[in-house]
Structure 1
Amino acid sequence: MRLAAQSVRDSIRLQPAPYAIGLQVGSTGLGIQLAKNLRPDARLVGRVGVSYFAYDGVFRVKAGDGKLNITPDLVMGIALASVKWHPFKRNQLFVTGGAGYTWRPDVKANVIAEGKVKFGGIEISEENLGVVNASLKWNSVLGYAGFGYGRSTPVRRLGFAVELGAYYLGSPKVDLQYTGFLETTTIDEQIPVIQQNLKSYRFLPSLQFLLTYGLFNRK
C-alpha cells in the first residue's frame, strides 16, 4: 500500500504544470508568453504572448566621392495567440498555429546624401539629391504556423523549448516620398513594378528559444 501511494504521488508530481510563464528570445526579438493546458495530458496547450524588436542604426554606403546615409526605422511588435499540439503522447515534438497582430506592420528608411554622390556617371550634390523616405507596409493581422520541440508547461519548475515557424504578412505595399533630383525622374511609374517584384515577400520566418517556468504545480 505504501509503495502504491508513493507511485501515485510520483505520477502526480510528474504531470506538467497547468499554467506557465515563459521568456522567449529569437528572430522577432524579446518576448513573454503565457500558456495553459487545455487537456489533462497537456498534449493541447493554449498560448498568448508578445514580442518586440527595434533597430535604427545608420548604414553608410559609398557612392562616388560621397556617401549615402541610410537610416532604417525598424520596429517589430507582435501579439500572438496560438494553440500548440503534441501529436505523440510521450514525445515533446509539437505543431502549432494561430493568429497575431502587429501595430507597426512596416519597414521605413530615410536616405540623405553626404557630399557629392555619383549614379551611373552622373554626379549630384547633396543639396540637389534631396531626401528620400521609403517604406514597405504589410497587413496588421497575421497568420502563424510552426513546429518545434519542448513543452510550454514544464513537468519540473523550469523547461526549455525551441520553435521554428513563419508569419503570413500578405503582399507589401510600397510608399516613396522624395525631394530634389528624383522629382525630375519617372520613378513614380516604377512603384507598381517594384510592388509586383516584392509580392513574394509575404512570409516572416521565426526562430524562437523559450525558457518556461511552471505555475501552480501540484505538490
Structure 2
Amino acid sequence: MLVDDEDSIRKVVEQIIKKDGYNFCYADNGEEVLEMFRQEKPHLIVLDVMLPGIDGFELCRRIRQESSVPIIMLSAKGDIVDKSVGFNMGADDYIPKPFSPIELSLRIKALIRRTETQDKVKKFPEIIKIRELEINCLRHEVKVRGEKIELTPKEFELLSFLANNPGQVFTRQQLFNTLWGEDCFQDTGTITVFIRKIREKIELNSAKPEYILTVWGVGYKFCNE
C-alpha cells in the first residue's frame, strides 16, 4: 500500500511493486488511509511524511496502535531529526527523496522477508518483572514502581528484547539488526538515541542507570541483579 499525493511517485512505486509480483493499492491523503488500511490489510506500507490532512508521522503512530505491519517512510527531508521522529512513531525504514527505484525494491523485499520469518523468532514471556520494572509484552505496557510509562513502539521493542536477554552484551549493530533487520540501511547511532530515551523514562537517575548498562567499547546489556 502506498500513501503519497505525488503522481510521479505513485507511478514509480506502483511499477516497482507490480514488477516484484505484489498487489498494489494507494491513497493520496491522510484522511482515507486508516479506512483503506483496515479494508485492504496490506502486508507493507510505503508512507510519505508530507500529506494533505493528517501527516505521515501521525498516520504511522495510529497504524502502530493497531498493527505491526512494516512501514517504510518517504520524505524530502533526510536529516537525523526527521528520521528520529519517524522511527519513534514506529517506522521500520526511512528513505529520503529522491530515491532509487532499485533501492526501494530491495528494502521492500527485505522487510517482507523479515516479516515472513518472524514466527521463527523466540517469543517473549507475557510479563517480565525485574525489581521495580514490569514489562507486559502482550499489552505493550511498561510500569516503573507501579506507574505506567509511555514508550514508543520501537522503544518498547528494544527494552523488551534487552530485558528478555539479561546479562547478555549486544553491540549497537546487533541491536539495530534486531529492530530493523540486517538489510536496513540506516545509522546504528539511532540505537544510542533510543537507549538514552528509554533510560530517561525507566531509570531513577539516567546518568547512573541500573537497568540498561553500557559496556564500554562493546555495547549494552540489561542488568537483572
Q: When the two structures are superposed, what TM-score results if normalisation uses the length of structure 1?
A: 0.24
Query: By percentage of residues, which structure has more strand?
Result: 1
What TM-score, normalized by structure 2, do the two folds share?
0.24
Greater per-residue helix proportion: 2
Q: Tell me which of the two structures has the higher relative contact order, counting C-alpha pairs closer than 8 angstroms and 6 or more residues apart.
A: 1
